Amino acid sequence: MTVNHLDTTRHPIADDSYVAACRDRFDRDGALVLRGFATDAAIARVVARSLPREADAFYADKTHNVYLTDPDPELGSHHPYNRQVVSTKGLIADDEVPADSPLREIYDDMSFRSFLCSVLGIEEVHPYADELSSVNVHFAAAGMELGWHFDNSSFAVTMLLQAPEGGGHFEFVSAVRDADNDDMAFERVGKILDGSEAVERLEFEPGDLVLFRGRNAMHRVTPTVGDTTRILVVFAFNDRPGVALSESALETFYGRRS
């Protein structure tokens, strides 16, 4: 039972008043950190299984703009739309996560999914239709980072599994753009890339569940420092069934299409 992997005394995810308080915080801040959501035993088990597979992960080292789109040749290379940042990470895909992993059991648990729906304010959550995208374990060894970007999805659900000795900080700036109204916020994006605007830092530890709205908030993860790899799990959901990444996206993120 998934309840063995979650601290449901600290986080009574079936309690209406607790769920309402979480939703209020998430609606207000655009981010929610639930401390010690998973048990120490579950995290230790996942890390022990994940570390031996670090060398076998698929490693992507690429540049991209903050909008995660192709460059616009009509704009100069120094335009905020075309400026490139670096993202590097290793990744274990969904089909490589063991069936008896606590991560799999948490992801599949209907009480957890119901909790997410209530906090996110949506009717349903569904796994990806492809075999690679739903549960992913990310590795960031020394020097690896996630460059500034906006998410394409309206929400992200993650959990840190192992903290590095240094670096690996999640930094963000809220309400930079308005994607629904095609406001690209070029001037402000440029200032953030130049380091001339103050940023916030979201602090969390292994076992903390993090919900974040990153579609309009620009965010990054700073380079890992030291010999301890930063390990994170991404629980990827959609608010409608049958959604799969394109074959080109699968090739880019996983190095394969199935």
Q: Is the pLDDT of residue 23 over 50?
A: yes
Q: Lay out the sheet containing 200-202: strands in order across.
A: 146-149, 218-221, 170-173, 200-202
Mean pLDDT across the stretch 48-74?
A: 92
The strand pair at 146-149 and 218-221 is best described as antiparallel
Q: Rounded to an integer, what is the distance from CA 84 to the centroid of its chain?
A: 20
Task: Find residue 158's DSSP bridge partners.
Answer: 210, 234
Tell me how far CA of residue 112 lies from CA of 140, 186, 229, in angstroms: 27, 38, 28
Question: Residue 1: what pLDDT?
Answer: 44
- Higher local confidence (pLDDT), 247 or 31: 31
DSSP 3-state of 74: coil
Tell me the pLDDT tens digit for each residue of 187-226.
Answer: 999 999 999 999 999 999 999 999 999 999 999 999 999 9
Tell me how far CA of residue 110 lies from CA of 3, 103, 139, 246, in angstroms: 11, 14, 27, 27
Tell me the pLDDT tens digit for each residue of 80-91.
Answer: 999 999 999 999
Which domains are assigned to the chain? Answer: 2-236 (2.60.120.620)
Mean pLDDT across the stretch 35-56?
A: 96
Which pLDDT band holds residue 62 (cuts at 50, 70, 90)?
confident
For residue 92, give the H/E element and its range: strand 85-92
Task: Find residue 87's DSSP bridge partners.
Answer: 62
Q: Which residue type is seen at 158? A: T
Task: Find residue 126's DSSP bridge partners.
Answer: 238
Which pLDDT band holds residue 2 (cuts at 50, 70, 90)?
low
Token readout for 234 is 């991404």
